[in-house]
């Protein structure tokens, strides 16, 4: 039954060839360090699912944001779990993405023909940090507020455009409701769109170029 449906669908979509190309492709003999990219991808999926669930209740309004987060954490059934997963998942993402990059560096996997994979990877690293930065403000508590003050002041020391950069980030001279809504917009719309696009390209490249083998002595 399942195979018959699979055949029917395959005839009209060729999904088996795609499946083989993605999941049954030949790879060299590798080790656990090569699973770090997939682990990051997995953490990303958790972040997307729990993040979408959080948007059902969270409101990016300076009057209500803090209360809505409190409601999620303390009153909704399993709200603590959904929020906790998203919270700790964010740290896991940063950790995993950095470890993944370290593996690529140690094995020299960034070399020809994988330079572009590396470049998309650098963008993904920065994106991951941006997620953390924009997400941190959203609970709208003291810690969120001051972290954003510090973060945007770091941006301010950028030569020449520093002041403008900070003002654009904050949507004004000070942190306000405008800051909150633009951080929210960035966190749930802008960054995820770019992330998915880049992850798509990154993984396409990994499959298209094949994975590196563990370098041998003298290589």
Work out how close the CB of 195 gets to ligand HEM at its nearest, in angstroms, rounded to a whole number: 7
Contact partner, 216, from other proteins, ligand HEM, none, Cβ < 5-8 Å per class: none
Q: 31 — phi, psi (to 5°)? A: -130, -175
State which residue, 94 or 167, has the beta carbon closest to ligand HEM: 94
Closest by Cα among 193, 148, 188 to 172: 148
State which residue, 49 or 194, has the beta carbon closest to other proteins: 49
Work out how close the CB of 148 gets to other proteins at its nearest, in angstroms, rounded to a whole number: 22
Q: Give the residues lining the site for ligand HEM (CB under 6 A).
A: 34-38, 40-41, 44, 97, 100-101, 104, 109-110, 114, 117-118, 121-122, 124-125, 128, 199, 202-203, 206, 211-212
Contact partner, 64, from ligand HEM, other proteins, none, Cβ < 5-8 Å per class: other proteins
Cβ–Cβ < 8 Å for 94, 175: no
Angle at 147 between CA 142 and CA 150, to 5 degrees: 130
State which residue, 59 or 203, has the beta carbon closest to ligand HEM: 203
d(CA 40, CA 161): 33
Cβ–Cβ < 8 Å for 3, 184: no
Contact partner, 190, from ligand HEM, other proteins, none, Cβ < 5-8 Å per class: none
Residue 52 DSSP class: H
Cβ–Cβ < 8 Å for 171, 93: no
d(CA 129, CA 151): 12
Q: Give the residues lining the site for other proteins (CB under 8 A).
A: 20, 24, 26-29, 46, 49-50, 53, 56-57, 64, 67-68, 70-71, 75-79, 81-82, 85
State which residue, 104 or 137, has the beta carbon closest to ligand HEM: 104
Work out how close the CB of 2 gets to ligand HEM at its nearest, in angstroms, rounded to a whole number: 28
Work out how close the CB of 105 gets to ligand HEM at its nearest, in angstroms, rounded to a whole number: 8
Calculate helix-pair angle for 115-137, 142-156, nearest 10 degrees: 130
Contact partner, 44, from ligand HEM, other proteins, none, Cβ < 5-8 Å per class: ligand HEM
Residue ranges of alpha helices (H) inside 56-141 are 65-74, 79-106, 115-137
């Amino acid at each position: 039954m399942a195979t018959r449906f699979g055949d029917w669908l395959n005839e009209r979509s060729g999904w088996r060839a795609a499946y083989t190309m993605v999941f049954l492709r030949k790879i060299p003999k590798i080790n656990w360090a090569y699973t770090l990219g997939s682990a990051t991808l997995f953490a990303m999926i958790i972040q997307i699912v729990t993040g979408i669930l959080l948007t059902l209740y969270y409101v990016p309004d300076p009057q209500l944001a803090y209360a809505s987060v409190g409601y999620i954490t303390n009153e909704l059934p399993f709200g603590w779990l959904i929020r906790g997963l998203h919270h700790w998942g964010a740290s896991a993402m940063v950790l995993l993405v950095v470890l993944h990059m370290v593996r690529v560096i140690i094995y020299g996997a960034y070399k020809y023909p994988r330079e572009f994979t590396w470049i998309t990877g650098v963008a993904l690293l920065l994106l991951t940090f941006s997620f953390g930065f924009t997400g941190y403000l959203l609970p709208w508590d003291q810690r969120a507020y001051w972290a954003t003050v510090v973060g945007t002041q770091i941006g301010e020391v950028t030569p020449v455009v520093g002041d403008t950069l900070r003002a654009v980030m904050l949507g004004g001279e000070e942190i306000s409701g405008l800051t909150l809504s633009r951080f929210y917009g960035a966190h749930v719309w802008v960054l995820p769109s770019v992330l998915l696009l880049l992850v798509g390209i990154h993984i396409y490249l990994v499959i298209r170029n094949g994975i590196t083998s563990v370098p041998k002595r003298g290589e």
